[in-house]
Structure 1
Amino acid sequence: MNPVVWSWSPDTWWTLFGHFIGLSLMSIGGAITLVPDMHRRLVLEDHLLSPEQFTSSVALAQAAPGPNVLFVALMGWYSAGVAGAMASMLGIMLPSATLTLLVSRWVATRKHLLAVQAFQSGMTPVTVGLLLATGWLLTPPVHEVRGLLLAAAVALVVWRTKVQLIWLVAAGAVLGALGWV
């Protein structure tokens, strides 16, 4: 993995804050659904993270206990230290938390309306599509068939059974340690 090179520039902090505040309002299905856009901006355009740092941020946060959104703090940390982590987390949390609070209170009193039910039903395929895009980005390159087969098998198990996800993560860790993926 490339060494961490922190930018102590307020410009970097504002860049992180601005990028994540914009993404916050699009995070239907959670911040994890925005991973492809985060990758585009932080790795490919701004070069604030290496591909390894990006993937490590997502993997570490998903393996750790706690909220799913912690990978955003790690991306900020790798980009600009503690201030980068704080700017990233404030950016991703502030707008969506405020909007969620206001909308959930509004919907709670109007869940019987057909428009509200239609909106909720219509957002399901959007969320699934964003999650598939995230999975595609984080899956090994297409020429690594074993990785794709493993991802498909895990998706099938999650979809069709009640196996706890932690066991699948542990199985993936064992397979990775054995060099299978």
Structure 2
Amino acid sequence: MAPGAGSWSVIDTLPWLFLHCLTLSLLAIGGAVATVPELHRHVVIEHGWLSDADFTGSVALAQAAPGPNLLFVAVVGYNVAGLAGALAAMSGMLLPSTALTLVVSRWGSRRRDTRGVRAFVAGLAPVTLGLVLATGWLLAQPTLQQPAAWALVLGTVLLAWRTRLNPLWPIAAGALAGALGWV
């Protein structure tokens, strides 16, 4: 029985979480964070394993922690099905992309000067940008009706674009604004 289609258990959830992360792994152009919108759709909207706020909090917590941006997958998996969920989500996300990266990078490094490889790399830039923007838009949804949140988002974008300021400062400003109840 598919989770979300009535009663389900953690045991029922694990294969679905693993398989979905397995397929998402191949969409992680620009990094795993580009898969946030689709993982959100699957975990929150389709199956109801997490609330919107729990999902957004999971991603935010993982992104604020030191380490690779892929950590959000483990946190979401953990919040869905405990330690086994974290393991299922992370292995699903890591296995295909790691194998594909190894094979393609070796193949591409030998052919990096060919027209086809250069065109492929150039074509991935707008795809990556679009996926990352979709992730940002999704994560901003809970606060879009608040002018202070818009100001915070726009300020963060401008700071990231125009300065070399450490990204932890805007994150800290957002955490402070949330703690003070401004957003």
Q: Does 2:40 align with 1:39?
A: yes
Alpha-carbon distance in 2 for matches of 1:9, 1:141: 31
Q: Does 2:151 align with 1:178?
A: no
Q: Which is further off, 148-157 or 51-60?
A: 148-157
Q: CA RMSD in A?
A: 1.4
* Paired position in structure 1 for 2:157: 155
The percentage of aligned residue pairs carrying the same residue is 52
Aligned residues: 175
Alpha-carbon distance in 2 for matches of 1:141, 1:57: 16
Matching of residues 71-90 of structure 1 within 5 Å: 71-90=72-91
Alpha-carbon distance in 1 for matches of 2:156, 2:170: 7
Alpha-carbon distance in 1 for matches of 2:126, 2:55: 26
Runs of 4+ in 1 over 4 A off after TM superposition: none
* Paired position in structure 2 for 1:4: none
Alpha-carbon distance in 2 for matches of 1:11, 1:127: 33
Q: Unaligned regions of 5+ residues in structure 1, if any? A: 1-6
Matching of residues 29-178 of structure 1 within 5 Å: 29-139=30-140, 140-178=142-180
Cα offsets for 1:82-121 (capped at 9, x unmatched): 1111000000011001101111111111111121111111
Q: Unaligned regions of 5+ residues in structure 2, if any? A: 1-7
Cα offsets for 1:8-27 (capped at 9, x unmatched): 53221001001100100011
Letter in 2 for 1:163: L
TM-score of the superposition, structure 2-length normalised?
0.90
